């Protein structure tokens, strides 16, 4: 039974007004470390709410487009300050609703403020080109313009940093936004929208609708006023969304991963183990760039596995608020069941469960979705646990005999988001960089983690093959280009000198 005392109800933001859903219904955001705790109550929006939000964004667009870029930047800077001012409160709320450790939540909120500042500044640099013209009476140049209404749909695993890396460039470029967060993490999404609203964004520039994808998804992406849809989430949901987006709207999707860490025989094994643990188990394995396959050369396989298990045994699992926990709960019940299912699938496929993989539900863990990180050995590359995204703390160790086979195995999945190699051999590093099918390529680093000022995105089924997110390149998605041929009359002078 959920605790029912003092639960605040949060509203949608539509046309600058905090509003209730026309459905008259709400849903609860639950703490995954203690499912008896309701973190907040949110609007169960339906099609009517979505249409109102899109129409208000459409109405606000011409005026927002005309606002001076430096004024738009000022508002983003102010929102960054507001996030930083509330950092401790917001980090705690994020941990309560998503489960990650308080340290990770603090980092995420801080990073979100940095992203707002980054795009406040980059928005001032949106520029076209001037081009040489064969015709001396024609001046040719390109100019960039905002698109209009952008729909933003995001997952729960980075519930503020992913929304902000879409919303900030969209706004900086002069677009208006309709934002639907994941239903598991609406509170921290609300805080972001609140900061933008309080920073002075005009009515209708940012609109916020919470509620299940089944009620809101189709209108959010198929309304004729929507000019772009940016989505991060599972590949399956991405495929569904793509079917509903109009031909006239552009689309950008960041999707699933099955990221490999290759450990060569010359690797510093202690470093390799740290990279595997950080990449595979931190954030409870719930990172799209998380390490889920470790491909190890046979000369060092046994030593690596021994060290990996020893290190996994030292990890502290617990409530992210405790300050001691290194690994929090899974984000929801379906995540827990998914991980436990894959542990069973791996065993049924004949892989050896060398460590962990069991639910922890005694004592202080009784009301949470806790699981012990799992390590599988004896994994064949064609097994489901080596092919399918699990999105939990499960590492499959695959033994290989030669370097080229390691690359082949790493590439033999439908995803291509992030990949890393651990070696000190420069030539094999370079071969890996050239031949790995992955949008993010790391050398002696974790598969997780990305800088806010560089492009981010995957290959194959991990991303749409169009626009990159993050960094300066992100602005390409939020602007279209016009090519202008500006005719100039030849001047007639009254004197010949
Ligand atoms: P999800 O189930 O795909 O949901 C993501 C978001 O999409 C949620 O807001 C969800 O709403 C909404 N949604 C789902 N189906 C929809 C539809 N048909 N139409 C419109 N909206 C729809 O993903 P998740 O479980 O939240 O997140 C985990 C997944 O995200 C993993 O696959 C992970 O790899 C991926 N991810 C990728 C990246 C990246 O950058 N590549 C980063 C982070 C996560 P509801 O919450 O209401 O269902």
98 CB within 6 A, ligand 1: no
Is CATH 3.40.605.10 the right assignment for the domain spanning 12-255+463-483? Answer: yes
pLDDT value of position 160: 98
**pLDDT tens-digit series, residues 363-377:** 999 999 999 999 999
Residue 459 tokens read as 């290959």
**Residue 228 C-alpha to ligand 1 middle, in angstroms?**
17
152 CB within 6 A, ligand 1: no
Q: Model's pTM, two decimal places?
A: 0.97
Euclidean distance between CA atoms 183 and 178, whole angstroms: 15
Residue 185 tokens read as 């993490």
182 CB within 6 A, ligand 1: yes
Residue 129 tokens read as 């080109």
pLDDT value of position 245: 97
Query: How buried is residue 334: exposed, middle or buried, by Cβ count under 10 Å (0-12/13-18/19+)?
Result: exposed
Q: Helix 87-98 and helix 102-122: axis angle, to 10°?
A: 120
**Residue 335 C-alpha to ligand 1 middle, in angstroms?**
13
Residue 471 tokens read as 């960094």
* The ligand 1 atom nearest the CA atom of 463: 41
Strands 176-180, 206-208: pairing kind = parallel
Pocket test for ligand 1, best of 213, 451, 470 (most atoms within 8 A of CB): 213
**pLDDT tens-digit series, residues 449-487:** 999 999 999 999 999 999 999 999 999 999 999 999 999
CA angle 8, 10, 16 (to 5 degrees): 145
Q: Which residues pair with 469 in a beta bridge?
A: 456
User: Which are the catalytic amino acids?
Assistant: 254, 288
> CATH 3.40.309.10 occupies which residues in the chain?
259-443
Domain 259-443, CATH homologous superfamily name and number: Aldehyde Dehydrogenase; Chain A, domain 2 (3.40.309.10)
**Residue 485 C-alpha to ligand 1 middle, in angstroms?**
43
pLDDT value of position 1: 45
Other beta carbons within 10 angstroms of residue 455's beta carbon come to 17
Dmax (CA) for the chain in angstroms is 97
> How would DSSP label each residue in 326-355?
SB---SSHHHHHHHHHHHHHHHHHT-EEEE
Residues of the chain with pLDDT under 50: 1-4
* The ligand 1 atom nearest the CA atom of 183: 46
User: Do residues 80 and 74 touch, judged by C-beta distance below 8 A?
Assistant: no
Task: Report which protein residue has its CA nearest ligand 1's atom 39.
Answer: 254
* Backbone conformation region of residue 49, classed left if phi is above 0, alpha if psi is from -120 to 50, else beta: alpha
User: Do residues 116 and 168 touch, judged by C-beta distance below 8 A?
Assistant: yes
* The ligand 1 atom nearest the CA atom of 211: 47
**Residue 238 C-alpha to ligand 1 middle, in angstroms?**
8
CA angle 56, 13, 160 (to 5 degrees): 115
Euclidean distance between CA atoms 372 and 349, whole angstroms: 20
> CATH 3.40.605.10 occupies which residues in the chain?
12-255+463-483
**Residue 105 C-alpha to ligand 1 middle, in angstroms?**
19
213 CB within 6 A, ligand 1: yes
pLDDT value of position 5: 58
Euclidean distance between CA atoms 460 and 334, whole angstroms: 26
Euclidean distance between CA atoms 154 and 160, whole angstroms: 9
Q: Which residues pair with 43 in a beta bridge?
A: 26
195 CB within 6 A, ligand 1: no
Euclidean distance between CA atoms 222 and 32, whole angstroms: 33
């Amino acid at each position: 039974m959920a605790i029912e005392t003092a639960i605040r109800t949060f509203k949608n933001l539509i046309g600058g007004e905090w509003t209730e859903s026309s459905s008259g219904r709400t849903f609860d955001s639950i703490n995954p470390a203690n499912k008896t705790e309701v973190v907040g109550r949110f609007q169960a929006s339906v099609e009517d709410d979505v249409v109102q939000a899109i129409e208000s964004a459409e109405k606000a667009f011409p005026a927002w487009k005309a606002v001076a870029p430096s004024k738009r930047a000022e508002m983003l800077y102010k929102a960054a300050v507001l996030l930083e001012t509330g950092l401790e409160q917001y980090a705690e709320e994020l941990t309560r609703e998503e489960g990650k450790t308080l340290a990770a939540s603090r980092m995420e909120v801080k990073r979100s403020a940095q992203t707002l500042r980054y795009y406040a500044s980059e928005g001032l640099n949106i520029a076209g080109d001037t081009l040489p013209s064969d015709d001396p009476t024609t001046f040719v140049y390109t100019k960039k313009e905002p698109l209009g209404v952008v729909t933003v749909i995001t997952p729960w695993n980075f519930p503020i940093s992913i929304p902000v890396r879409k919303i900030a460039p969209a706004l900086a470029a002069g677009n208006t936004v309709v934002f639907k967060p994941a239903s598991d993490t609406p509170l921290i999404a609300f805080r972001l929208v609140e900061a933008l609203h309080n920073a002075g964004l005009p009515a209708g520039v940012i609109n916020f609708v919470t509620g299940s994808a089944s009620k809101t998804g189709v209108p959010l992406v198929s309304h004729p006023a929507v000019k772009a849809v940016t989505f991060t989430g599972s590949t399956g949901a991405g495929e569904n969304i793509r079917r509903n987006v109009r031909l006239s709207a552009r689309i950008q999707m960041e999707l699933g991963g099955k990221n490999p860490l290759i450990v060569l025989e010359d690797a510093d094994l202690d470093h390799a183990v740290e990279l595997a643990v950080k990449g595979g188990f931190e954030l409870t394995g719930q990172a799209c760039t998380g390490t889920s396959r470790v491909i190890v050369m046979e000369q060092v396989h046994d030593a690596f596995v021994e060290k990996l298990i020893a290190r996994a045994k030292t990890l502290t699992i617990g409530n992210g608020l405790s300050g001691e926990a290194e690994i929090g709960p899974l984000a929801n019940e379906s995540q827990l069941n998914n991980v436990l299912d894959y542990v069973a699938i791996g065993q049924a496929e004949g892989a050896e469960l060398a460590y962990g993989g069991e639910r922890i539900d005694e004592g202080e863990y009784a009301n949470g979705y806790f699981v012990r990180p799992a390590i599988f050995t004896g994994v064949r590359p064609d097994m489901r646990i080596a092919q399918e995204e699990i999105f939990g703390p499960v590492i499959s160790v695959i033994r290989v005999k030669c370097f080229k086979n390691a690359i082949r195995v790493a590439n033999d999945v439908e995803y291509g988001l992030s990949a890393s190699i651990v070696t000190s051999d420069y030539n094999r590093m370079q071969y890996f960089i050239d031949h790995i099918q992955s949008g993010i390529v790391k050398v002696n680093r974790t598969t997780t983690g990305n800088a806010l000022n560089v492009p981010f995105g995957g290959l194959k089924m991990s991303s749409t093959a169009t626009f990159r997110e993050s960094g300066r390149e992100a602005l390409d998605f939020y602007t279209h280009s016009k090519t202008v041929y500006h005719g100039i009359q030849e001047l007639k002078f009254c004197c010949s000198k």
